[in-house]
Structure 1
Amino acid sequence: MQNFVIREGQITDLTELQKLFVDTITTICTADYGTEQIKAWTSSVKNKQRWQEIMTKQFVMVAQEESKIVGFATLNNGNYLDFLYVHKDHQRQGIAQRLFDTIEAKARQLKQYSLDSDVSKTAKPFFERNGFKILQEQTNIRQGVEIINYKMTKQL
């Protein structure tokens, strides 16, 4: 396991988080999604207002190794895990688990009854290992491209 710390995200992390988001999807999710799907998915990084709101309105946790961000997770409205991404070069090192545990602890602290998320095919096994159940498979249309993911929930 690598040496990393978990800390609260700051607005100054935004550019690095966006790059990590795109790099992770374009390398890690290729077994589950095609080129056009990945292009449509990552295009959301261009929505400046959405990303500003993530940083200012959500609970953002960052995993940092020395001066490099190696993962991040966000909690919206106290019970919706919006983002959980780990840098493509830092997979399978316990980073996602630590970030997830931090987000779950925050939801519990906020007296939430469940934790919900929309989960990619790639991330579904991780969420299932952490006690999430599939509520339904979803077909999202982004830029005219169908992208399958799963609405999942975990009772707290």
Structure 2
Amino acid sequence: MNNITSDNQITIRKGVSADLPEMLQLFTATIDEICKQDYNLQQLEAWKSGTENEERWMKVIRDQYVLMAAIENKIVGFCTLDQGNYIDLLFVHKDHQHKGIASLLYQKVEKEALRCNEKELTADVSKTARPFFEKAGFQIVQEQTVNVKGIAMTNYKMVKHLIS
């Protein structure tokens, strides 16, 4: 996939293993700053501890369809698609919220799912991301409580039926 640049100089490209340190930093900073209105400190800390599982992140880069959004070579967001139909991760840098980056990444991921003849997209979505996913046409299948390091957190199993 070639780099695609839009008018506001956001470049979308495939993620590579060299992106991992910057991805992890963006992941934790975004959770700290953007999700704090929806989750308490214990929950945020448990969620961020996901960065400690290096094997999982290597597997994401190796096995998933990973897209990076960059402005002037700095990663400002990323989205991953697992097994062609599950959005595993979608994060946008805390300083670049509400600029269309998540939408741009999501559109490319949906396009990839359609290219793979998928009929639906699913995601486990945080309280913080729920409005974005609803705007993108996803519906809640169920509210769920997940345990991360013994800390209970609410998220939503969501689905979007794709029309090719």
State the TM-score, normalized to the length of structure 2. 0.94
Q: Is the 8 A contact 1:134 1:152 kept in 2?
A: yes
Distance 1:70 1:3, change over 3 A: same
* Separation of aligned partners in 1, 2:54 and 2:96: 26
What SS does the corresponding residue of 1:30 show, helix, strand or coil? coil
What SS does the corresponding residue of 1:93 show, helix, strand or coil? coil
Q: Is 1:58 equivalent to 2:69 in the alignment? A: no
Q: Is 1:46 equivalent to 2:58 in the alignment? A: no
Aligned to 2:95: 89
* Separation of aligned partners in 1, 2:24 and 2:143: 26
Q: Is 1:102 equivalent to 2:133 in the alignment? A: no
Offset, 1:75: 0.2
- The CA deviation string for residues 80-100 of structure 1, in whole angstroms up to 9 with x for no partner, is 000000000000100000000
Offset, 1:128: 0.3
Offset, 1:143: 1.3
Aligned to 1:117: 123
Match 2:28 to one of 5, 22, 29: 22
What SS does the corresponding residue of 1:31 show, helix, strand or coil? coil
Number of positions where the alignment pairs a residue of Structure 1 with one of Structure 2 = 156
Letter in 2 for 1:9: G
| Runs of 4+ more than 4 Å apart | none
Q: Is 1:70 equivalent to 2:76 in the alignment? A: yes
* Separation of aligned partners in 2, 1:23 and 1:65: 17
Which runs of 5 or more structure 2 residues have no equivalent in the other structure? 1-6
Letter in 2 for 1:52: M
Aligned to 1:134: 140
Q: Is the 8 A contact 1:37 1:146 kept in 2?
A: yes
Offset, 1:141: 0.8
* Separation of aligned partners in 1, 2:144 and 2:124: 9
State the TM-score, normalized to the length of structure 1. 0.98
* Separation of aligned partners in 2, 1:52 and 1:18: 11
